[in-house]
């Protein structure tokens, strides 16, 4: 069994004084060893919340998993103690955030920050010299010259900072790497370089990856599988071929395709479809996408669509129900 991560029927809520936010609603997906899945959707679709649930880094006071299970190599992560989870997180899975400066300490040299993360998980008891060699190796791996390890984060450009963050995330040889919009804060040309680096590292290191993005272009370059999220649900799921070459699609996915910016002429990012994502404290009945869907029919306003399968390609939309 080469399943690395299995998400089963996962729901996540945030409780505020005023309301309950249904951020993720009964989602299912799995990742095999060495596989990359893209979680795609607009801001507020539940992508980051899903990642934080896997890492068990949801905000403690407000966020909680209300339903479902998360298996990592067959072990239910939700049954682990805080301490066991802390160890798992550091040694077997790590996360890269959108803005490199949220992960980097501005007053510590980049070499020291990589070394620290190596020391925390120094299970094979490397000595100082060996740790130093590993710092150099990691910097080289992400395309930074080791002689720069004595420099501070502000001495690096945005793209180089993100490379440092990637080196830190890789320090423990994670089996699962979660990248949350890792290139969104970067210039377009630098984005392409960082993505190419991530694709290369994935090949080299055999790491499985969750790539969170609003951009289907990123998915095409880095992913094996795709899950399209809308209002906390997975509305379409399949291989990259299913999504890019398949005949059937969820209307929301088609909207996302319509919004891929043309990098050559640098068009501003387009909104996929008219209208906004629904208020997660007050989700509409039926299909959550119905207020924005041009194909909406009566049943869509009343009944939540079931998943329909074309092989392993899943689409949750009434258009594909036989009786409609």
Which residues contribute to the site for ligand SF4 (CB under 6 A)? 250-251, 287, 289-290, 293, 295-296, 300, 305, 317-319
CB of residue 11 to ligand SF4, shortest distance in Å:
20
Helices 128-141 & 158-170 angle (0-180, nearest 10): 130
Residue with tokens 């990637």: 166
Tokens of 309: 């399968």
Residue 2 or residue 306: which is nearer to ligand SF4 going by CB? Answer: 306
Residue 4 or residue 293: which is nearer to ligand SF4 going by CB? Answer: 293
Question: Are 111 and 138 a contacting pair, CB within 8 Å?
Answer: no
CA distance 234 to 202: 25
Beta strand ranges found along 73-188 (DSSP E): 75-76, 93-96, 176-180
CB of residue 273 to ligand SF4, shortest distance in Å:
10
Residue 115 or residue 308: which is nearer to ligand SF4 going by CB? Answer: 308
Residue 44 or residue 251: which is nearer to ligand SF4 going by CB? Answer: 251
CA distance 288 to 277: 9
Question: Are 102 and 42 a contacting pair, CB within 8 Å?
Answer: no
Q: Are strands 36-40 and 225-230 parallel, antiparallel or unpaired?
A: parallel
Residue 241 or residue 301: which is nearer to ligand SF4 going by CB? Answer: 301
CB of residue 13 to ligand SF4, shortest distance in Å:
23
CB of residue 131 to ligand SF4, shortest distance in Å:
53
CA distance 191 to 184: 7
123: Cβ contacts below 8 Å, ≥ 6 apart: 91
CB of residue 298 to ligand SF4, shortest distance in Å:
9
Residue 115 or residue 292: which is nearer to ligand SF4 going by CB? Answer: 292
CA distance 294 to 118: 52
CB of residue 234 to ligand SF4, shortest distance in Å:
13
Residue 164 or residue 315: which is nearer to ligand SF4 going by CB? Answer: 315
Tokens of 84: 């066991």
Residue 28 or residue 248: which is nearer to ligand SF4 going by CB? Answer: 248
CB of residue 30 to ligand SF4, shortest distance in Å:
24
Q: Are strands 93-96 and 176-180 parallel, antiparallel or unpaired?
A: parallel
25: Cβ contacts below 8 Å, ≥ 6 apart: 11, 46, 231, 232, 233
CB of residue 307 to ligand SF4, shortest distance in Å:
11
Nearest to 207 by CA among 51, 67, 92: 92
């Amino acid at each position: 069994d080469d399943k690395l991560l299995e998400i089963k029927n996962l729901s996540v809520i945030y409780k505020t004084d005023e309301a309950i936010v249904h951020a993720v609603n009964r989602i299912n997906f799995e990742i095999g060893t060495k596989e990359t899945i893209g979680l795609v959707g607009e801001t507020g679709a539940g992508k980051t919340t899903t990642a934080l649930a896997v890492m068990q880094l949801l905000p403690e006071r407000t966020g909680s998993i209300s339903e479902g299970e998360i298996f990592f190599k067959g072990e239910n992560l939700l049954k682990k103690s805080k301490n066991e989870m802390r160890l798992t997180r550091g040694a077997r899975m790590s996360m890269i955030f959108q803005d490199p400066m949220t992960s980097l300490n501005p007053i510590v040299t980049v070499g020291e920050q990589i070394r620290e993360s190596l020391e925390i998980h120094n299970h094979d008891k490397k000595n100082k010299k060996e740790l130093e060699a590993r710092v150099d190796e990691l910097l080289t791996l992400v395309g930074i010259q080791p002689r720069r390890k004595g420099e501070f984060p502000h001495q690096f450009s945005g793209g180089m900072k993100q490379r440092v963050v990637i080196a830190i995330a890789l320090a423990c040889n994670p089996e699962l790497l979660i990248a949350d919009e890792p290139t969104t804060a970067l210039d377009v040309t630098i984005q392409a370089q960082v993505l190419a680096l991530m694709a290369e590292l994935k090949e080299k290191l055999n790491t499985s990856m969750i790539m969170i993005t609003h951009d289907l272009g990123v998915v095409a370059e880095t992913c094996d599988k795709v899950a399209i999220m809308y209002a906390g649900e997975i509305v379409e799921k399949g291989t990259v071929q299913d999504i890019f070459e398949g005949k059937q699609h969820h209307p929301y996915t088609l909207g996302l395709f319509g919004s891929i910016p043309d990098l050559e002429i640098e068009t501003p990012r387009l909104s996929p479809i008219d209208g906004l994502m629904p208020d997660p404290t007050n989700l509409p009945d039926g299909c959550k996408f119905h207020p924005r869907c041009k194909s909406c029919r009566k049943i869509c306003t009343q009944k939540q669509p079931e998943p329909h399968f074309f092989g392993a390609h899943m689409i949750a939309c009434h258009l594909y129900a036989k009786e409609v």
